[in-house]
């Protein structure tokens, strides 16, 4: 891949270094990432079938409450964007 990008004259703009742990809990996949320069982040993904996305999101927020997770504001941007913004 590196050679392909070099041949296209593309330069590296950001590198995401992270450690990831993943668990399953009440039909939810919970991922905790420790991202160099950004700290810890949690991501939840509903694994059960929901008839609409609003119900799935409500379920995820209930799981966060059950876990007493201390979270910040929801941010749907990816780590590369956050790292570029920070630099």
Pair 38, 81: CB distance under 8 Å:
no
Q: Which of 11-15, 56-60, 81-85 has the lowest mean pLDDT?
A: 11-15
- For 10-19, write each residue's pLDDT tens digit: 888 899 999 9
* Whole-prediction pTM: 0.78
* The token pair that represents 12 in the structure block: 């590296």
Give the CATH number of the domain where residue 69 resides.
Answer: 2.40.320.10
Q: Find the DSSP H helices in 1-87.
A: 2-7, 53-66, 79-86
- For 3-42, write each residue's pLDDT tens digit: 898 899 988 889 999 999 999 999 999 999 999 999 999 9
User: What total number of domains does the chain contain?
Assistant: 1
Q: Is residue 18 part of a domain?
A: yes
Pair 79, 87: CB distance under 8 Å:
no
Residue 39 is predicted with a pLDDT of: 94
């Amino acid at each position: 891949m590196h050679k392909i990008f070099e041949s296209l004259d593309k330069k590296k703009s950001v590198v995401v270094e992270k450690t990831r742990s993943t668990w399953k809990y009440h039909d939810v996949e919970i991922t905790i990432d420790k991202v160099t320069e950004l700290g810890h982040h949690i991501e939840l993904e509903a694994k059960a079938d929901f008839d609409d996305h609003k119900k799935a999101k409500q379920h995820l927020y209930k799981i966060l409450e059950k876990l007493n997770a201390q979270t910040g504001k929801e941010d749907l941007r990816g780590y590369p964007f956050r790292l570029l913004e920070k630099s």
